[in-house]
Structure 1
């Protein structure tokens, strides 16, 4: 039963990833693209955690933590670049 729930969650988060990819490519302005990119990072984290549960190993949880840290820093850097024109002051 847990396997079916995991596959359903994979499908849902995969669909969410595709929808965010569409918003990233078609978004009318840069704020929509930044938000889509941040949401894609969250979906990738969820997919990594789900795959770690499916495989029963902790390695994917550590990878999810690394993706979360890199995703946060990249979102902040991209926002600062859009707002100020530079990343490092």
Structure 2
């Protein structure tokens, strides 16, 4: 179980580093917004992995709140992005 947790942590960290590079070097504002949304998804996955590893359910309300925040952010960006049709 420790090997799986270490592998998942390494993959999530690598994904977060790549997303942070896209967040900094993104050619447009929409790329940066999508990168921030993906970074939020990686954080949710990291918290869920920690909750599964420790078998502790106290972080589930945090997961629900972050998931709702990510969904609302994605929908609002899609709605108010330049060039989107109404």
| TM-score for the superposition, normalised by structure 1 | 0.80
Distance (whole Å) between structure 1 residues aligned to residue 38 and residue 30 of structure 2? 12
Extract structure 1 runs of 4+ deviating beyond 6 A.
none
- Report whether the alignment pairs 1:23 with 2:15: no
User: Taking structure 2 as the reference length, what is the TM-score of the superposition?
Assistant: 0.82
Partners in 2 of 1:55 and 1:62 — Cα distance?
A: 16
Distance in 2, Cα, partners of 1:6 & 1:60: 17
Q: Alpha-carbon deviations, 1:21-56, whole Å to 9, x = none?
A: 110111001221122111111111110000101221
Deviation of residue 63 (structure 1)? 1.4
Shift of 1:80: 3.5
Which structure 1 segments of 5+ residues have no match?
A: 85-89
Deviation at 1:79?
3.9
